[in-house]
Amino acid sequence: MKKSIRFWLACWLAMWSWCVNPVLAQGQPTVLTGRVVRAANGDPLVGASVFVKGTKRGTITDRAGRYRFILTEPVTIVARFVGLRDVEVTLLPTGKPIEQNFEMVSNETQLADVMVAANRQDEYLQKVPVAASVVGRRDLERRSIYNTMESLNNTPNLITDSWLNSQVSFSIRGLSTVFDNVGFESTVALYIDDVYFSRSFAFNQTLMDIDRVEVLRGPQGTLFGKNTIGGVIHVISEKPEMTNDGQIELNYGNYNFRQIRAKLNRQLVKNKLAIRLTSALSLRDGFVTDRTPSIEALNKTNFFGFRGSLLFTPSDRVTLTLRGNYGRDNKAENTFVYTSKPDYNPVGVPADEGLTTNQNAPVEFFRDQYGGMGKLEIKLGRNTLTAISALNSSVDSYLSDNDISAADASRWGRSQGLRTFSQELRINSPRDQKFAYVAGLYYLNERISAADTFTLNKGFLPVAARLLGAPIANANQFTSEGYTTDAVIESQSTAGFVSGALELTPKLRLSGGLRLTTETRQLAYYQRLRHQLVNGVPFNIIDLYASTIGSKASPVTRQITDLALSYDVGMDYRFTSNLMGYAKFVRGFKGAGFNTAPIKDSESGGLVFRPEYVNNYELGLKAKPTERIQVNGAIFYTDYKDKQELLDQGTRVRVANAPLTRGYGAEVEFSAMLKRFRLDVSAGYLNLKFIDFPFGTDDNGNPVNYAGNRLLKAPDVTLSVAPEYTVPLNDKLRVYLGLNINHTGKAYNDISNSELLARVPASIINGRVALVPANGKWSLAFWGKNLTNKLYIQHGWEYEFGDQVAWSRPRYYGMEVYLNFR
């Protein structure tokens, strides 16, 4: 890994030294020409004003949207058109002709023209033949969104859940990955500012200083890599700006919720160097109450983090962005309750009632995350060369009462870590030329580790006697037995990719791409049992769950190598400047992996599982008939081969590949805006099932096949309705009224489709009322989430010592204050 870092660092420094000292010929007469067009569809704007800021010197565009005049000194050029936002750009005369085009977007009384980086560069959403949703800065603020999970509530065919701060699940179009096994990489690729995170436990949820969150649905393997079978979630933070401003946000709510977020932007060197600093502190009590006061006292969330970014623009063709971040969680809320019923009470205690539990150990949690990245962009004519280097680290530890009851049956803990280095080098052309392309190289080096500790205590003895079919000898002397499992994965992945779009006619465009990925992974694994001896004889109760495999000095090792080709081909047709249709086929790939969970047999338990592949067929439409209405929709068919699945049930953890999985779905997003009213609606439908899935045998030795079962985390229906109304009180004050209604249909939380653990259909209603002055210098808001107090099961497990479920968050509400400084 060190050699790789040194190699890429040398390449990065060489490019930097080549470009930081450009010489511009200033003060010479320069001919300035260009076009002014509507960003949403590329139509020319006739009669748009193009002028020098602060003067009356300027011109207007002709029938083709073109303009022309002469520069003799550095100036700021402004493009203006009625109903659209002004666009400004600073230009320096070079003595050579300059072409400067302007793309105009809607003002605040119309639907904004949304940007998306689906082709690894910013484009307008309505021009990109991809099923994508974008949650912008405006949405984050007006819906009081504070973390990644909340930001995704309005996306069709997407659900999230989390039973602990470090264990987050994202499911797009019914494709998700089990989140409690570090050997499984995410099926949904997670990105922050172009940097990939292969495990969701390293994906920080608290949003600070975010420009937008993009969701690309369906496989995105050509441009975003191997683990994008479900799609991509890309969090894009705000860049430093050449201004001086800041913001403070204060929040207080029930469950003793307190949050402070702040950001500061400073221009250090005019038009050359700027810095942005942000920080957040979030505190909250747990919503599941433990009857034991000493345990309840530790039932909290406590997060602190900060981010810093530096923007350096030494010339108009070079941009360097540096980012660093740090985050710490040192407490965690309990979300679990014990759910065994009167007719099934294995440990002899009653089931918990509602959101009250009675456990005998607190949840202990700690997480440290830090990292940094550098992004260098160099203009080469009309093309752009981009180099991105990143280092990231995440470590966390967790310990809890595993049986989630008053009976002291078991304890479980885990510590896990992730260290990554990644390097990407790519070149892209502008998307508005006849043949547009993106090509590049990508390298990823990772070290992932996990250590599990499990203990069976005295309260487990009634269960052990039933499983063994006989009373436990010397039971009154038993205290505990357990195991420790340790796994380390070293992974290297290299890829080359190219993607292009060719304009055959002004209306028809063909597109396609290839990505060749090679990766090698090594696993070192051992599992050690801890037996209690009585008169030199072990109880061997822990043997129900695990067996000795390898040792610390001599672990069991496995190595896997994959070489795979991902590709896509498609076409899009622009029926009018406001209506586009597209058809697309994508071949996706996700590499082989390791089962790092505790197992009873290194062979039959499945330390290694095969890679998985998907063929996805999609048809879509994108329409924006006016500046106030937008409709996007898609239908798709998915054919999955060897889907990787895990079942954690009873006394066994089993891993297998489902040979055949198929299904189809549809989704639509609608937005409309009147003078003071806005409505956003999204809907999704899914029908994905295992077609063939033999999964070993049950406890009685009978063969099990999950054919016909629905995929886990795959609701049949998702629906979101978000109306918003603005009430002007006078010429200085406004009130914003907003609702956010999200309905999710039934979804199973395991591949066996257990009804006890299933997520029931639920509608969640959120609301917000805000008072905002016209100058935007402050705001006061009251917000409420899950106003009807609807509860559903986020996740759950069936164990021999009793079932347990993690509940969704009940009703919570609070007050928010924004202060803006300019």
Residue pair 37/43 in contact by the 8 Å Cβ criterion:
yes
Tokens of 518: 């090679």
Residue pair 549/525 in contact by the 8 Å Cβ criterion:
yes
Domains held by the chain: number:
3
d(CA 720, CA 766): 11
What's the DSSP call for residue 239?
P
d(CA 638, CA 586): 10
* 203 pLDDT higher than 70: no
Q: What is the per-residue pLDDT across 126-150, written as a single tens digit (0 to 9) for each?
A: 999 999 999 988 888 888 887 777 8
What lies within 8 Å, CB to CB, of 193 at 6+ separation is 235, 236, 237, 323, 373, 375
Mean of pLDDT values over 674-687: 94
What lies within 8 Å, CB to CB, of 527 at 6+ separation is 483, 484, 485, 486, 546, 547, 548, 549, 550, 598, 599
d(CA 68, CA 33): 4
Whether residues 513 and 397 share a domain: the answer is yes
Under the banding of pLDDT at 50, 70 and 90, the label for residue 528 is very high
* 200 pLDDT higher than 80: no
Task: Supply the pLDDT for residue 612.
Answer: 92
**Widest CA span in the chain:** 100
- Asked, for residue 572, whether it belongs to a domain, the answer is yes
Task: Supply the pLDDT for residue 369.
Answer: 92
Determine what percent of the chain is predicted with pLDDT higher than 90: 57
- Asked, for residue 158, whether it belongs to a domain, the answer is yes
d(CA 428, CA 430): 7
* 795 pLDDT higher than 90: no
The residue assigned the tokens 């940007």 is 115
Residue pair 52/90 in contact by the 8 Å Cβ criterion:
no
Q: What is the per-residue pLDDT across 337-357, written as a single tens digit (0 to 9) for each?
A: 998 776 777 888 888 888 999
Distances (CA, A) of 241 to 245, 309, 321, 732, 764: 9, 10, 11, 27, 37
Q: Domain with 91 in it: what CATH number?
A: 2.60.40.10
Q: Which one, of 722, 715, 714, 718, lies nearest residue 684 by Cα?
A: 718
Whether residues 100 and 180 share a domain: the answer is no
Mean of pLDDT values over 657-674: 95
- Which amino acid would we find at residue 218? G
* 17 pLDDT higher than 60: no
* 604 pLDDT higher than 60: no
Tokens of 259: 């949050």
Whether residues 167 and 254 share a domain: the answer is no
Give the residue from 51, 85, 104 where a domain finishes.
104
Burial 33-67 (b: 16+ CB within 10 A, else e): ebbbbbbbbbeebeebbbbbeeeeebeebeeebbb
Whether residues 250 and 173 share a domain: the answer is no
d(CA 128, CA 119): 8
Task: Supply the pLDDT for residue 301.
Answer: 87
Whether residues 454 and 602 share a domain: the answer is yes
Mean of pLDDT values over 303-309: 93
Mean of pLDDT values over 177-183: 71
Whether residues 648 and 776 share a domain: the answer is yes
Q: Domain with 583 in it: what CATH number?
A: 2.40.170.20
Q: What is the mean pLDDT of the chain?
A: 88
Under the banding of pLDDT at 50, 70 and 90, the label for residue 556 is very high
* 22 pLDDT higher than 50: no
Determine what percent of the chain is predicted with pLDDT higher than 70: 92
Helix (H) or strand (E) holding 591: none
Residue pair 814/787 in contact by the 8 Å Cβ criterion:
no
Whether residues 37 and 85 share a domain: the answer is yes
The residue assigned the tokens 């009018």 is 576
Whether residues 245 and 170 share a domain: the answer is no
Burial of 310 (0-12, 13-18, 19+ CB in 10 A): middle
- Asked, for residue 529, whether it belongs to a domain, the answer is yes
- Among 84-98, 258-272, 789-803, top mean pLDDT goes to 258-272
Give the residue from 205, 235, 265 where a domain finishes.
235
Task: Supply the pLDDT for residue 18.
Answer: 47
Mean of pLDDT values over 45-73: 86
Whether residues 95 and 140 share a domain: the answer is no
Mean of pLDDT values over 548-570: 94
- Asked, for residue 561, whether it belongs to a domain, the answer is yes
Task: Supply the pLDDT for residue 23.
Answer: 39
d(CA 639, CA 175): 12
Under the banding of pLDDT at 50, 70 and 90, the label for residue 361 is confident
Which residues span the domain enclosing 397? 236-821
What lies within 8 Å, CB to CB, of 344 at 6+ separation is none
* 168 pLDDT higher than 80: no
Distances (CA, A) of 337 to 258, 354, 579, 794: 25, 8, 51, 12
Whether residues 155 and 143 share a domain: the answer is yes
Whether residues 229 and 241 share a domain: the answer is no
Q: Domain with 219 in it: what CATH number?
A: 2.170.130.10
- Poorest-pLDDT segment among 23-27, 366-370, 393-397: 23-27
Burial of 775 (0-12, 13-18, 19+ CB in 10 A): exposed
Rounded to 10 degrees, the C-alpha dihedral 440/441/442/445 comes to: -170
The residue assigned the tokens 């690894």 is 120
Mean of pLDDT values over 208-234: 89
Mean of pLDDT values over 593-603: 79
d(CA 466, CA 459): 13
Residue pair 174/665 in contact by the 8 Å Cβ criterion:
yes
- Asked, for residue 502, whether it belongs to a domain, the answer is yes
Whether residues 615 and 689 share a domain: the answer is yes
Mean of pLDDT values over 187-205: 81
Residue pair 20/318 in contact by the 8 Å Cβ criterion:
yes
Tokens of 547: 């067996």
Under the banding of pLDDT at 50, 70 and 90, the label for residue 417 is very high
d(CA 60, CA 36): 10
* 651 pLDDT higher than 80: no
Mean of pLDDT values over 247-252: 94
Give the residue from 213, 235, 257 where a domain finishes.
235
- Asked, for residue 113, whether it belongs to a domain, the answer is no
Task: Supply the pLDDT for residue 285.
Answer: 93
Task: Supply the pLDDT for residue 10.
Answer: 57
Q: What are phi and psi of 419, to 5 degrees?
A: -125, 130
Q: DSSP of 88-154, one letter per residue? A: EEEE---SS-EE--EEE-B-TTS----EE-TTSS-EEGGGS-S-EEEEEHHHHHHTT--BHHHHTTT
